[in-house]
Structure 1
Amino acid sequence: MVRRESSILIWENCTELLSKYVKDSFKHGFLPHPPLELPDFPAQYPESISELSSQVLGLFSIDKAGFNSKLAEIVEIIEPSYVQRHIDPPREREKWALKNIDQISKRIIILQINDWLNSALDETSPDTSRWYFAISVFMGMCYESSTVCRDFCFNFIISISMARPPNFRPKTNPSGPHHIAWDPSKENTNLEHNIPHPSGILAVNIILDYLSSSDATLKNILPFWIHSLSTFPYLTNHLDLFSRIKTCLNQLKGEQVDSLIQATTQLMPDYLNQSRDIFMSIDSSTNPSTKRSLASVIPKIYSYDPEFTLSILDWLLIDSDQNTCVLATGSLGFIIRSNRNAYYLRAPIVIQHGNQKALQILVNNSISEYLNQDISDKINILPDLWIKCNENSRSKLVSYICDQGKLSPSSYVDTATKIFNKDEKSFLDLYRWIGMRDKDLQKKLKDIKTKI
């Protein structure tokens, strides 16, 4: 077989993908109408899939210079460094391109969608034909649910919702007086630039609805785009994000759920009640991956609503899923620094529950800070913690008990006495461990040991 240049194969693959995407774009319903159109030139919906496909392929085929430009741009962006370091870079580039035809083709198609949307969303002379070319290929690519689409097509969602070209970026103001450029008199002057377009919002809602109706896109694209949309709070109500988050949470698990929980957390400062409703819908009967994701964001949501967060933390600490308990326990290291009493109430719950991984996290994350605040251990955490811990956790905990012995000898003896009264075997283990660390501290426990 005669060797063919990679650019020719990439071209052929692009045409095959374009044809496939246009056909797949009608899988779940009609294409959304263009956000912008001139009264004298109203949009004409494609008469058939075959006609739209032939127009897309024809327009792509005649622009060979545009293809070569896009190919060079993509190769420059994603080409690995070892290609340039090779003794024969052109030959190595050919080999690399042949192995990555699909990825390169999809990136070229995304640039083509970008060009078509630039024409379709031009405020002065919108090209509605280009809109249908762009949206059909975009929707078909979404249904494929590739990581390339997930990672590089999200900006089209923002562009369509604002009815602005894809290179449009919403304007933001400096956030406060700690920025030199901040001017309170101009705080709201740029809000008009962040007003969504009604027809654009309608189009995006249709797109998101279609993504929800496909199992592949529901799993591989929609949760991650919802997470990205959470950074645009002025779109939240228009796109009904909280309803979409709640629906997806009931159907997904794993990494997808983590993105949804992160999105809810991101929206919490602006939409406190709606975010609380989402978190309240999660309970002990929810699937473990959702509970773990919730436990991992406890420190962040605590900064927005402490009392509500503590009510969630109370059941996470004793959940039947061990990994959830461990993640929730890790947040106590943050809470003790801001709310000592909340920590005092919840650390004994972790100890009583007896999850060894959670106990290890408790020892590693918060006991040092706890003793810094109360070296005398007034709530008697250390005795119960020592008795419950295994050897892995005790190797760290004994260091803190030794520190207590050096800083407050009377409290140290009290701790050892309480351990002795509750469990003599645990006291003997403590005596042995202390002896390996500090013989002088061990001598202070001899009076207790003689009672055995």
Structure 2
Amino acid sequence: MSAGARMRRRDPENVIYEEVGKSIEASIILAWSTFNIPDPIYELPEFPAIRPNGPLVLTQQALGLHSADKTGFRLRLEESVRNHYRPVPGYFDEEERRTNWMANNVALLTDDVCTKTACVWLEQALDEEHPDTDRWYLGYSLLAGRVLCGSESASLSQSIPIMLVFGGLDRNYPSDAPHPSGVNALNCLLDASEQFSDSPSLASWISILSMHRSTSRMLSISDRAASRIIREQKRIPSGCMEALINLISHDLESAANGLNRVVLEGSDSARMILAGNLDPIAGRDRKLALDLYDKLSLNSDTGVLLVLSSSLYSLCYDDPEAFQVRAMRLIETEDDKVIRRLIESGFRGYLDRDPQDKSSLLVMAWKYGGSLSKSRLKGLIFQQKQSSEENFRRTITRIQKFSETDALGLLEYVEGREVP
């Protein structure tokens, strides 16, 4: 790059500094205009909090702090660059490469620095012995605005929701109870987030909070997670499904209520995501997983049934009878793709346990399946003959009862494979 080009290009640090100022102003105004900002969690009796009259005063204070704390800005920016930028060892002009990267990632760095700034102000407000109540309104409003506008850095932070609900970062979370004012502050923010479908923080924070027994019911985690899944018709937030699964270990009732809501009210996409998560659900509560399986299997489309047929054998691994009953229902759908998937995922294990096919699953799958299913069954029936001539003949006889042609063709196929 020529010297003239270097002179014409603005220093990316200055650009980011300006963008952070704009984002601070826009975020505070957005938060203030969306919901009622709660009062500080902590305040000293001799220095009660003075609530701002509106966003104008607050933005002026915030921009004044931003302007006066250029050193803090540089430290936060440097930390952000260190977390995101990947240097190339031995590169001939690493400084120039780093500068170019910063210039091309202004939005990313601006977002990250804004979130870090909000956290610094909140930490000052959450000092239980010396709380700065002015910083509370500034930090909370800035953070809320970042969340509402879909900030990626805010949504990825695991510490922010915990800091709010417990009233600080220096808490013993397994034993400490949530701070009542912290619960209210986080509830207000989560309620406001539900108005913005593009806010990813709701899903990711719900997943984090679901792991804490003391917060899940106070913050209505099950209801929030299920409502978000139901509301999103196609982009199902994985964090919300994770939250419902996390709840099973310490709040089975709430988890079951939320998961059943997804079954009854969710879109086909939501039901398919739930079907794909039955194995981890079974790892926590097998009875709940089978109950959800049974409800999902009623009036579901082929996509959901395919997922269910893939997981059925693992769900019923310790209960062969439960597998046989549910497998027969899938076979009776007469959906060739579903039957084939069931054969591929569960029939080998089923025949290992019941080589005689006492439940006639092998025979019924042949009867109701199409060409895809029968191509898989031929191999299994051939293996059955290798293991037991008697079991093989019994299978052929059963098939012959509804189709002599199929029985004869299958017999010829198996005998043909045995020819040396």
Q: Under a length normalisation based on structure 2, what TM-score does the superposition of the two structures give?
A: 0.91
Q: Equivalents in 2 of 1:88, 1:299: separation in Å?
A: 51
Superposition map of 1:97-108 within 5 A: 97-108=102-113
Paired residue for 1:78, among 84, 102, 110? 84
SS at match of 1:353: coil
Distance apart, 1:433 and its partner CA: 4.5
- In the alignment, the residues of structure 2 paired with residue 55 and residue 163 of structure 1 have an alpha-carbon distance, to the nearest angstrom, of 23
Paired residues, number: 414
Structure 2 residue aligned with 1:377: 357
The partner residue of 1:409 within 370, 389, 395 is 389
Which residue of structure 2 aligns with residue 199 of structure 1?
Answer: 181
Aligned to 1:447: none
In the alignment, is residue 50 of structure 1 matched against residue 56 of structure 2?
A: yes
Deviation readout 1:223-253 (Å, 9 max, x if unpaired): 3322222111210121122332343344223
Match of 1:443 in 2: none
- Given that residues 339 and 369 in structure 2 are in contact (C-alpha distance below 8 angstroms), is that contact kept between their aligned partners in structure 1? yes
Please, which of 110, 119, 123 is the counterpart of residue 118 of structure 1?
123
Quote the residue 1:93 is aligned against: 98
Query: Are 1:366 and 2:346 counterparts?
Result: yes
SS at the partner of 1:213? coil
Aligned to 2:219: 239
Partner of 1:161: 165
Distance 1:283 1:25, change over 3 A: closer
Residues of 1 paired with 2:370 and 2:258: CA distance? 37
From 26, 35, 51, the counterpart of 1:20: 26
Answer whether contact 2:167 2:179 (CA < 8 A) is retained: yes
C-alpha displacement at 1:390, in angstroms? 4.3
Q: Provide, for residues 140-182 of structure 1, a one-character-per-residue CA deviation record: whole Å limited to 9, x for no partner.
A: 1111113333223x421210110113xx46455xxxxxxxxxx
Pairing partner for 1:290 from 249, 253, 270? 270
* 2:15 match: 9
Q: Normalization by structure 1: what TM-score?
A: 0.84
Provide the rounded CA distance (Å) in 2 between the counterparts of 1:169 and 1:253.
38
Query: In 2, distance between residues paired with 1:17 and 1:84?
Result: 34
Identity %: 25
- The separation in 2 between residues aligned to 1:237 and 1:171, in whole angstroms, is 15
Structure 2 counterpart of 1:148: 153
Q: Contact 1:6/1:94 (CA < 8 Å) preserved in 2?
A: yes
Tell me by how many angstroms 1:40 deviates.
0.9
What is the identity, as a one-letter code, of the residue corresponding to 1:22? I
Is the counterpart of residue 211 in structure 1 residue 211 in structure 2?
no
Q: Is 1:40 aligned with 2:46?
A: yes
- Most deviating of 156-165 and 309-318: 309-318
What residue number does 1:273 align with?
A: 253
Q: Who is 1:177 aligned against? A: none
Cα gap change, 1:69 to 1:281, in 2 (>3 Å): closer
| Contact preservation (8 Å) 1:257, 1:290 | no
- Structure 2 distance, partners of 1:285, 1:58, is 49
Distance across 2 between alignment mates of 1:90 and 1:60: 26
The change in CA–CA distance for 1:367 and 1:389 in structure 2 (over 3 A counts) is: same
Kept in 2, the 8 Å contact 1:335–1:342? The answer is no
**CA distance in 2 between partners of 1:114 and 1:30 (Å):** 20
**1:29 maps to amino acid:** F
Instruction: Give unpaired runs (5+ residues) of structure 1.
Output: 173-190, 441-452
Q: Please give the per-residue CA displacement for 1:46-79, whole angstroms capped at 9, x wherever unaligned.
A: 2331221111111112222222222221111111
Specify the code of the residue in structure 2 equivalent to 1:55.
Answer: Q
* Residues 100/425 of structure 1: CA separation in 2 closer, same or farther (3 Å cut): farther
Which residue pairs with 2:319 in the alignment? Answer: 339
Unaligned ranges ≥5, structure 2: none
Distance across 2 between alignment mates of 1:98 and 1:432 = 72
